[in-house]
Structure 1
């Protein structure tokens, strides 16, 4: 089904008006898979999940299933999880360790790089197939940043560090915070939500305005809300990426700046002591400014998000224009004592995840947003994303364009990046068709 509106009508030139169709239109969704997910760096997992040769995890690029594996050369390979013989998945586990992936249909066998190494049936035929041509399709680009694994189907994609830009400075606040690095613990929680994939990403780009209202039963009238209004900033380090932070004033006591103090975890005396000791190293490692920077939520274009207070990595995997499979992981300092990890994990599971106190409210809002976007009688009314329009500016202490905690420039830049990538992809496709 072709689009009935040009992209310039779906997202206004300043990003302040966004059409409902970008969340519901099946034709647009197909273009997203073709021109965004296939040509952009997509988060695959963390190196701590595959530390040893033979370790693997499975993931998705949009709806394409992939295997992320550490091969015998210790390099990371990403291959499409579909047998080159009849298309059956060759890996059915979320994670594990193996030397071979075996298709259950005809037992064609592939190594960790995706190379085809065995065809049982070829012993019975005279014309031997060229196994070198029949391996699993490989995702051509794989790069890591501070343990975060990204892959891209476009071999000509820009280097990952260029793609991240100044977002890396903020990622380092957590992923380069600890001497021994971080680790992802366990398999992800997974659940489905009836919403468009962009809605959770937008929320984590910096939508702090919903907190005291949607989550009012817990947050309304708390000191945290006042602190956010006093010190909160929404930041766009590079168009498409965004985050919300609190930049505490110089001289703020360490206990007001420490990582992990946003929730009940900091109330435990033993955890509190661990957080204090951990914070002492931050200034030397990351600098004075980042020692008093308290991020809240991040999103990396197109579908990776991170919740700082709850140590939560998450991806919004699309399953059509109106459904996602949401994945969530607990991440923590690798060298933290095991009993501290367990206590902090309680905070992670209590607040967010399928049964979290706040998660259900967010999921319901995103589902209702999607339902509202399907009201065709309201198609002549675009959504308004103009709060704080043109008020964002450079900041003397932190990189990127910075606005107040209620400035919606994070979303404007996200949807303008979305529009730009679709326009560029359509243009490039048209040129190829002309040739």
Structure 2
């Protein structure tokens, strides 16, 4: 570790100068030799560095958004080459190159602040060795050695010998308890930051190398820092714990205010937005209007969370507009309740037989020929052919003259009125 820290010795002077400037401010409040003065100086150094790294953080967010925008194409590549992992990786790398997306951009903030981390480690190691460095002169060196954080000297380590700890006016038990607690907190905050990113702010419907990278960081980084932490001075542990807490808070802000499309965080955000819009019947901020505008612009390409949001607006009688505002709409309510506006029902098409039967009945009702035609049908059965009718007529008369009134045969369903043409012998019945 000392060898690696020595590579960044060129930046130790700026780092030590920043710490001294903050120490002069906090020393006037808490006393120059207190752990609060030196500890808060290190915390302020972290905050200053992280503020300077905000542009890199914005770049990281944009790169993450580009990765999310590529999710459909990545999914298509996975489906197309699901049996050829090598070709799948080649197509993924080609897609990254064409779109200018870097999957490793999430590591940029860590890589950018590593020189400051090692420079601070180098400064604290020199303080523990009673050597001046940068702008820290003899008087500041003695003040830093007297500073204790919860009983542990600023330059003490978990692995220090009892003699070295006693030279710093502290006990080995206090040093190990404080450093162990800080190492656990440092690793836990690192793990939680990556875990909330994986569980809440990643679209889990698509498996990508980006997700594998984040999962690796979630499990490997806490273990690495836990192992390395036993060799970190207390001041460096304060630095790394502070930067982890900053990262965790920054990540929570991004997840709550600008979640990844398709993630659980987006679902929670849109549910909160839906509740606010339905209560006030309007979108009350420009940023939220931009969110609604982006959802409307997607059209049929909306994900499940966005479709639920639009449906929730419709159930509340509201419709999202292309400019991000909402208006009251009765049509939206009808569509949300299970269908569009009721359409005019067309009459059911009847068969030809029913149409002919109905037209025959209407013609008979409108133009009766005589009284018998409108009388009720007779209940008497027809006499068999060739027999004598009850009226006393001959068999020939019965065949030649049809019975009046009810005896007149009605056409069958689907049959023409009047005399029927005889069927051809070869035709089927």
Shorter-chain TM-score: which interval?
under 0.3
Larger radius of gyration: 2
Q: What TM-score do the two structures reach when normalised by structure 1?
A: 0.21
Does 1 or 2 have the higher relative contact order (CA < 8 Å, sep 6+)?
A: 1
Give the structure with the higher percent helix.
2
- Given the two structures, how large is their TM-score scaled by the length of structure 2? 0.21
